[in-house]
Amino acid sequence: MRRLALCTGLLAACNTNTPDDDYHAFLSRADRARPDAGVDAAHPTGHFSDISGNWFLRADLTAGLDLGLRVRMCRYMESPTEADWTRCDPLTEPGRLMVRLWLEKQRIGVDAPLVETSSTVDEGGHFVLTADPLRLPADLVGSDIVALVVMYAHITRAGSWCGDADGEVTQPPGLEIDGSTFAATRDPDQTAKHFELPFACAADDGVPDPGGDAGPGDDATPPDAGPPPGPDGAVPRPASPDLTDVPSVAADVSGHWLVTARLANGFALQLWLSLVYAGGPEGGTLDGAMHKTQDAPGTPAAATFTTTVTPDGRFELWLPTFAMQTNLGRLEADILLSAVTASADAFCGEGAGQVRRPLAMSLEGATFAAQRFVPGTAAPPANEVASACAAP
């Protein structure tokens, strides 16, 4: 609709370069793991080969669904008959494919396909598969799912194909697809079982992980990504931020908290913290768990901790080798949070330490503030809530 409006207004030839193309061209030049069809074929990350035939595609959707699909791919024909699909001409050179998708429980050539689409494989082995709509029946996941799924695939050196996917779930609303991964395995006899197969590209550019347990973000780990060990092999604890000028009071901070942190460079981050306080006038202890704000109640925590609380409500959390999956990929950091308790409904403080992945960043100068939170509800935007202690 938007493109139609633009074309109508400008009488423009619309098949042209866009800012989005420039974005993907950069990813390709930077030789990122994410493949993208049709961009900058001079810097391919895939390898063209004939991928016609039957495949089993296993996808790990970020919505939490482990999905198996059967795929038949043949050289493209206009208005193909069932005989054309059965013959299935090979793709001997880069060009267009016709593609059909079935559920794992269905039979290729017997059952009606779930989706019929086409795609073009470029010289670098990139192609995009669009399933629009992809309708998954209720017996698969408990309720009907209707989604637009775009799979960005590339052919690996081994002649298989894999990649990641994005798109939009239209029913039920609220499910995420972006960041999903998939990998395909040849399955001429339709005997593959999805739990035996990989669902993501392996780290070495395109060979599906034979173990199949490489989750998103586990690839491309820099060789120096591990925590810098101290003399005894432990991660050295940074110096605690000085909060002596910030008043603090003893209070029961048990409950759920939305913690909004802002790094010195302005970057903001929000977490959901669950705390259980046990103590009295002499101080006490704090047991806690850390989640993403989007996590549903009951979701396993990214980290758990125990710390002590001073009689005036000060406490510190030292989380060496902390790891969590985020929008930026896998976050790995050594985090020290020094906090003061402002009241039973607020605590705040400063941070120290180092983020190692996905970007190297110091936590020096980072601040945070926490407010009561109801898990499962939408967190207020980070720029609309406090992210530091109020000035004394």
Partner 1 sequence: MARRLGRDSGLFVRTQGGALAALVCAASVCPTPATAAPMHVARMDGLRGDPVDTGPFAFWWNPAALARPGRALGLHGLFAMRAASYDRDAALNDVAPDEAAANAGLATIDTAGVIPALGFRQGFADVGPFDLGFGLGFFVPFAGVADWARHPDAPAEHPGAYDGPQRWATIHSRLVFLAGSVGFGAAHRASGVSLGIAPTLYYGELATTRARNVDRSDDLVDVTGELKEGRIVFEADDIRVGFNVGLRWDASPDLGFALTWHQVPEFVMDGRAKVAYGTADPFSIGAELAFPLPDLFRAGASIGLPGGWVLRPFLEFARWSVMERQVAVSKGEGQPLIEIERDFDDVWGFRLRCDTPRWRGWGATFGGGFETAATPTSTHEPGLAEGESVEAMLGLDYTFEAGVRVSLSTTLQTFFARDVSDSIQKPTTNGRYTDDRVFSTLDVEVPF
Shortest Å, Cβ 198 to partner 1: 18
Q: Quick one: 22 or 111, whose CB is closer to partner 1?
A: 22
Shortest distance in whole angstroms from residue 210 CB to partner 1:
22
Only one residue has tokens 């110096």, namely 239
In this complex, which beta carbon is closest to partner 1, that of residue 274 or of residue 293? 293
Residue with Cβ nearer partner 1 (13 or 391): 13
DSSP helix/strand/coil, 223 = coil
CB of 272 to partner 1, least distance (A): 12
- Residues in contact with partner 1 by CB under 8 A are 2, 5-6, 8-20, 22-23, 26-27, 29-34, 166, 178-179, 216-217, 220, 222, 224, 265-268, 270, 293, 327-330, 357-361, 378-379, 381-384
The total of other beta-carbon atoms located within 10 Å of residue 349's CB is 29
Quick one: 16 or 191, whose CB is closer to partner 1?
Answer: 16
DSSP-assigned letter for residue 234: S
Q: Which is nearer to partner 1, 187 or 219 (CB)?
A: 219
Q: Which amino acid is at 301?
A: A
Q: Rounded to the nearest whole angstrom, what is the least distance from the CB of residue 29 to partner 1 in the complex?
A: 4
Q: Output the smallest distance, CB 348 to partner 1, in A.
A: 18
Rounded-to-integer distance, Cα 49 and Cα 43, Å = 17
What torsion do the CA atoms of 142, 146, 152, 155 make, to the nearest 10 degrees? Answer: 60
Residue 28 φ then ψ, to 5°: -70, -45
Please, what is the minimum distance in Å from the beta carbon of residue 183 to partner 1? 17
Cβ-Cβ contacts under 8 Å for 350 (sequence gap 6 or more): 241, 243, 337, 338, 365, 366, 367, 368, 388, 389
Region for 345 from its dihedrals, namely left if φ exceeds 0, alpha if ψ lies in -120 to 50, beta otherwise: alpha
Whose Cβ is closer to partner 1: residue 284's or residue 380's?
380
